Amino acid sequence: MLALIQRVRRASVSIDGAVVGQIAAGLLVLVCAEQGDTSAQADKLLAKILKLRIFSDAQGKMNRCVQDLDGAGLHGGLLIVSQFTLVADNSGGNRPSFTQAAAPELGRLLYDYVVQQARAAHSEVATGVFAADMQVELVNDGPVTIPMRVVPTVGG
């Protein structure tokens, strides 16, 4: 599974002009399931996202994760948006190929699973709508943008 994580001051997702998900400060997480991904990769990806230390501590060092903010009563929302184009392969020309993306059924299943697990582990989770034509607005804080990929482990 792939994710692109952006530390944001605020972010929102709209469909046809109506806001369907928004957060104040926290993480905008664009998520893509690849062919062959399972809930095990989803679990590993979410665990890494929740513990990713990209928020400043009192000394200005990136030593805090989104869950540290949540536990301190500060804003630390997650806005999780499906984004199959993260797997874009443009090595063969100018038109990207998305053949490594999971089939829509598996993609939806794993996206929904990530959202469900995130809501069980974190107090503030907002989402986009799977496969919808969405407009995402954000104020990137830093800017801090981190790509992340979790691949299957041998034997599991």
Active-site annotation, residues: 83-85
Are 20 and 13 in contact by the 8 Å Cβ rule? The answer is yes
d(CA 9, CA 15): 21
Report the alpha-carbon angle 146-17-15, nearest 5. 55
137, β-bridge pairs = 12
81 beta partners: 30
| Closest C-alpha among 127, 124, 93, 130 to residue 110 | 130
